């Protein structure tokens, strides 16, 4: 299989995942057709300004949601939130999460998802501003853990992640980027727990904190 064929296969896999999730979230209803919604979302995730918040990130978050699904109250809602959580992403603008939440609200209502589930997706997308779900927020815990799982990557993968983030903010002068990135890392390190699911706490917490502290030392040393 060539690289282009692999890319097409990956897109086909994402289309199939979207169709399964949307159909399940609608209680098995086949209409309206999931395909146009998938194409619009995939186009957003493939925008040229993205270097970390890409289709690869979307796939990784969906994979982690699958890994953590036993902890969710409504895993289909969490999967929908994963699809929308960075659907609007402009590194030179603020309120990406809020704009993504509004997009989810509009698109899911049009796609036939009921009001209660749509509202829960919107809430979960907004939660990714802080990544600080309540102790009884099972769906929020799964989404936030899945989104932050990259922080527990092996050293080479973590370095690639930080390089991609820097590339997204290429327009920010180095000193300002270091200050802003350090503030983000500090906010994460000040959380009592980075991961709220039992799996995340056991398997990811220590590695993620090590990576964050090491990056902080590089930025501020």
pLDDT the model gives residue 204: 98
Q: Is pLDDT above 50 for 3?
A: no
What is the extent of the structural domain holding 103?
3-220
> Which tokens hold the place of 165?
């983030």
User: Can you give the pLDDT at residue 7?
Assistant: 59
Inter-residue contact 80 to 104 (CB < 8 Å): yes
pLDDT of 2: 42
- The tally of domains found in the chain comes to 1
pLDDT tens track for 176-212: 999 999 999 999 999 999 999 999 999 999 999 999 9
pLDDT at 221: 77
| pLDDT tens-digit series, residues 131-166 | 999 999 999 999 999 999 999 999 999 999 999 999
For residue 19, give the CATH number of its domain. Answer: 1.10.3210
What is the value of pTM for the model shown? 0.94
pLDDT of residue 94: 85
pLDDT, mean of residues 76-84: 98
Instruction: Kindly report, residue by residue over 31-78, the tens digit of the pLDDT.
Output: 999 999 999 999 999 999 999 999 999 999 999 999 999 999 999 999
Give the CA-trace dihedral at 64, 66, 68, 71, to 10 degrees: 150
Residue 66 near residue 49 (C-beta atoms within 8 A): no
């Amino acid at each position: 299989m060539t690289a282009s064929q692999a890319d097409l296969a990956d897109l086909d896999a994402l289309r199939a995942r979207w169709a399964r999730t949307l159909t399940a979230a609608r209680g098995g209803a086949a209409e309206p057709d999931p395909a146009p919604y998938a194409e619009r979302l995939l186009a957003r995730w493939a925008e040229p300004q993205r270097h970390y918040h890409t289709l690869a990130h979307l796939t990784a978050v969906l994979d982690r949601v699958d890994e953590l699904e036993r902890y969710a109250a409504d895993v289909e809602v969490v999967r929908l939130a994963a699809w929308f959580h960075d659907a609007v992403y402009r590194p030179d603008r603020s309120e990406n999460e809020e704009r993504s939440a509004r997009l989810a609200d509009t698109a899911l209502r049009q796609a036939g998802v009921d009001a209660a589930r749509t509202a829960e997706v919107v809430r979960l997308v907004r939660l990714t501003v802080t990544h600080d779900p309540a102790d009884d927020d099972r769906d929020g815990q799964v989404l936030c853990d899945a989104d932050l799982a990259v922080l527990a990557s092996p050293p080479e993968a973590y370095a690639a992640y930080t390089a991609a983030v820097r590339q997204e903010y290429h327009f920010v002068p180095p000193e300002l980027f270091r200050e802003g990135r350090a503030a983000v890392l500090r906010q994460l390190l000040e959380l009592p727990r980075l991961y709220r699911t039992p799996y995340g706490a056991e398997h990811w917490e220590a590695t993620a904190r090590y990576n964050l502290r090491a990056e902080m030392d590089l930025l501020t040393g």
